[in-house]
Amino acid sequence: MKIAVVHDWFSANGGAEKVAGAILDCFAGHSLDVYTLFNAFKGSDKESILRQYAIHTSVLQHIPGINSHYRLFFPLMPIIIEHMTIKHKDLILSTSHAVAKGISYTPGTLHICYCHTPMRYAWDMYDEYLADHGLKNSYLYARLMEYMRQWDVKTASKVHYFIANSRHIAQRIKKCYNREAKVIYPPVRVDTFPLNTEQRQDYYLCLGRFVPYKKIDLIVKAFRQMPDKKLYLIGAGYATQQFNALVADAPNIQHLGFLSDEAMIGYIAHAKACIFAAKEDFGIQCVEVQACGTPVIALRYGGYLETVVEHQTGYFFEEQTEESLTATVHAFESNPLTEHARIREHALQFSVERFNDEMQQFVRECYTSFYQKPFYE
């Protein structure tokens, strides 16, 4: 089988990139090529995700500093992806949160899209994504977003079958594209996050990239109002300097920077709870935390509603406000969740093995229906 795996871009090793890597592993017995707008992966990220596969990139690959400035090229990405053409493949598997599903290919080729979300920055979250964009409130920006939404809907017709990473996203795919989607939850490396049954230490934890939509500033501001409660931050991003300034005069908040997986897991396993304030469509890190037996405090939104059991594996706060979060932290303090083995047991249902089984089964069914012959023939 000749298979093309298409991903928007490889910048940070986040949840979407881990799904792309899992898809590559899932079909490793076939001939695989990877197509992406640009690839900034090196070292361990390249080894763990892309391995030895042939990588086909666009003109963006040749722009100096693209990994830091790719947001400036959002308006051009639809044009660029459509100028990339896949030929002589039996199957295209795209993993898309932006433009990957819009890639061109020769007619008669099966295209299955694992959709993390319809294009976030063009639909319901463009303010969060482009909060510091100079054109945000301009007429030009509004027209640009209108074009991007039209393009996003139009290119949905290039996909024969959609997979959604949650029921939340399946509903959004139906709303935006008027298409049905099979729900297959992302693979979570639950075995990499061991259960800690020991008494937890006296700190809360916040993980993630320092970008506006993650709302880490909201968490920091909430804990500035709770000086008796300790918060550790793990992560980095283009907004790191702003966050460092925000915590500079807060002795109860410490930014640990970017840590190795081993060090990060150590902090997760000993935390009272981990806090997630972003509007996530699934939220792999939230499940990884629970795999350690660590409870979570999460926004009542999207994928969290499918991965957190209220008052058993975590607490929800209602709004992206400091007041809502602080009230929930106080509620957690009054009735902490300490059945760590039960929390981990819940997380195990999102394993890599389950993902592999469901992906392979669905691809076989789609292939057989599309080509009228068995997948492995």
Helices 15-26 + 352-371 axis angle, to 10 = 60
Question: Does the pLDDT value for residue 23 go beyond 90?
Answer: yes
Whether residue 180 is predicted with pLDDT greater than 90 in this model: the reply is yes
Percent above pLDDT 70 for the chain: 94
Dihedral sign from CA coordinates of 138, 143, 144, 150: positive
The per-residue pLDDT for 248 is: 82
Question: Which CATH number is associated with domain 190-350?
Answer: 3.40.50.2000
Least confident of 152-156, 209-213, 312-316, 331-335: 209-213
- Cα of first residue to Cα of last residue in the chain, in angstroms, is 9
pLDDT at 55 over 90: yes
Distance of alpha carbon 78 from alpha carbon 100, whole angstroms: 9
**pLDDT one-digit tens code per residue, 103-143:** 999 999 999 999 999 987 777 765 655 555 555 667 777 78
Give the model's pLDDT for residue 315. Answer: 98
What pLDDT score was predicted for residue 41? 95
Query: What are the residue ranges spanned by the domains of the chain?
Result: 2-187+351-371, 190-350
pLDDT of residue 132: 57
Q: Is the pLDDT of residue 239 over 70?
A: no
Report the pLDDT averaged over residues 215-236: 94
| pLDDT for residue 252 is more than 80 | yes
What rounded mean pLDDT belongs to the chain? 92
Rounded distance, CA 293 to CA 290, Å? 5
Average pLDDT over residues 261-271: 96
pLDDT at residue 196 is higher than 90: yes
The three-state DSSP-derived secondary structure of the chain is CEEEEEECCECCCCHHHHHHHHHHHHCCCCEEEEEECCECCCHHHHHHHHCCCEEECCHHHHCCCHHHHHHHHHHHHHHHHHCCEECCCCEEEEEECCCHHHCEECCCCEEEEEECCCCHHHCCCHHHHCCCCCCCCCHHHHHHHHHHHHHHHHHHHHCCEEEECCHHHHHHHHHHHCCCEEECCCCECHHHCCCCCCCCCCCEEEECCCCHHHCHHHHHHHHHCCCCCCEEEECCCCCHHHHHHHHCCCCCEEECCCCCHHHHHHHHHHCCEEEECCCCCCCHHHHHHHHCCCCEEEECCCCHHHHCCECCCEEEECCCCHHHHHHHHHHHHHCCCCCHHHHHHHHHHHEHHHHHHHHHHHHHHHHHHHHCCCCCC
| pLDDT given for residue 195 in this prediction | 96
pLDDT of residue 88: 95
Do domains 2-187+351-371 and 190-350 share one topology? The answer is yes
> How far, rounded to the nearest angstrom, does the alpha carbon of residue 112 sit from its chain's CA centroid?
19
Name the pairing type of β-strands 161-164 and 181-183.
parallel
pLDDT band (50, 70, 90) for residue 62? very high
pLDDT of residue 139: 76
Indicate if the pLDDT at residue 13 is higher than 70.
yes
Whether the model pTM is above 0.75:
yes
- CA 43 from centre of chain: 21
Please report, for residues 7, 28, 52, the alpha-carbon distance to residue 31 in angstroms, rounded to integers and kept in the order given.
17, 8, 12
Q: What is the pLDDT of residue 37?
A: 98
Query: What CATH fold (topology level) applies to the domain 2-187+351-371?
Result: Rossmann fold (3.40.50)
- Distance CA(348)–CA(119), nearest Å, equals 29
50 vs 41: CA distance, rounded Å? 8
Q: Are 234 and 262 in contact (CB under 8 A)?
A: no
pLDDT range class, residue 145, cuts 50, 70, 90: confident
Confidence of residue 377 (pLDDT cuts 50, 70, 90): low
Report whether 30 contacts 2 (CB < 8 A).
Answer: yes
**pLDDT score at 131:** 53
15-22 average pLDDT score: 94
pLDDT of residue 129: 54
267-326 per-position pLDDT tens digit: 999 999 999 999 999 999 999 999 999 999 999 999 999 999 999 999 999 999 999 999
CA–CA dist 268, 271 (Å, integer): 5
